[in-house]
Structure 1
């Protein structure tokens, strides 16, 4: 077992064989990961989420919301891939979003999903996990709103200080009590 240290988290890898490993995806999910293509076994996601035995990986693909999600993901992958190909000028193979790997040994066989779909599967498998993700997203959006408000407040302060600066200069332009003695001219070219 090897551990990779980061400043915020420790991700634990446990090798199963040359091509597969257990990975601590986050605090809750310990998943089977394909090393060669960074895809995750759906059954390990369901197990980590304590999904009931009635929820099977194949059922996830039948949901209308899943069909729409996969369609959108495929469109996004193709779009970002095409823009990259145009920039680099080469043709690459489209990454798979999921794959049924039936020819693997027991414990490893089954559906594998792209890493970006792990949370979607986990949220389908566990309402508790979904709720935690919603709270996490809400906290993230709350922080973003706070940052936007701080930026707007800073801009308002700059505008206010410039306005005060302009207001200080106005009395010097026209002395008090002499406003009607001055004539303003507009030059045009």
Structure 2
């Protein structure tokens, strides 16, 4: 963002201009080009825009130089520039505060939707068994890990009431996602040849179920104590 600086000559500068021989526009243009070319490495901090309406002609300088140019021109001019910059800063700050406030309100509205009040502990967790059909796998069992909220748990009601319900806990907090922890318990407890984990299922031997249940129960009990 650049600012237009219109410099009005003072009486002394006018007398000096009249007393001195005016410089040819061509010479001024050449000297200006030479001066700029010598310092081509520096960023362009101003631009003389001539082909503009009368009210917009002048030198457009970098916004960081506005205060310096205003103080060089006159203290009174600098005072007006300071007021203008303060107003611009105030408007930008107010606009940014409004955006942050609107964003904060949007976040606050989404929190109750994701975790309704009174529903922070609204999850059930069940591990149910599945017998394998093949005769050679009769000594093995498939464990299914299921975490559901109360509303979507109805389709598992029959399994919950049956003998396939191997492990069950309710009123779990939304922050608790035990599947990965249960898988880790299996890996830490059993030899690698005694289990096969795929997704949310664990294939293991029936003889290992009592030990696994003991470790998993201990994990859930410790979680409630920490909570």
Pick the structure with more helix per residue: 2
TM-score range, shorter chain: 0.3 to 0.5
TM-score scaled by length of structure 1 = 0.37
Bigger Rg, which one: 2
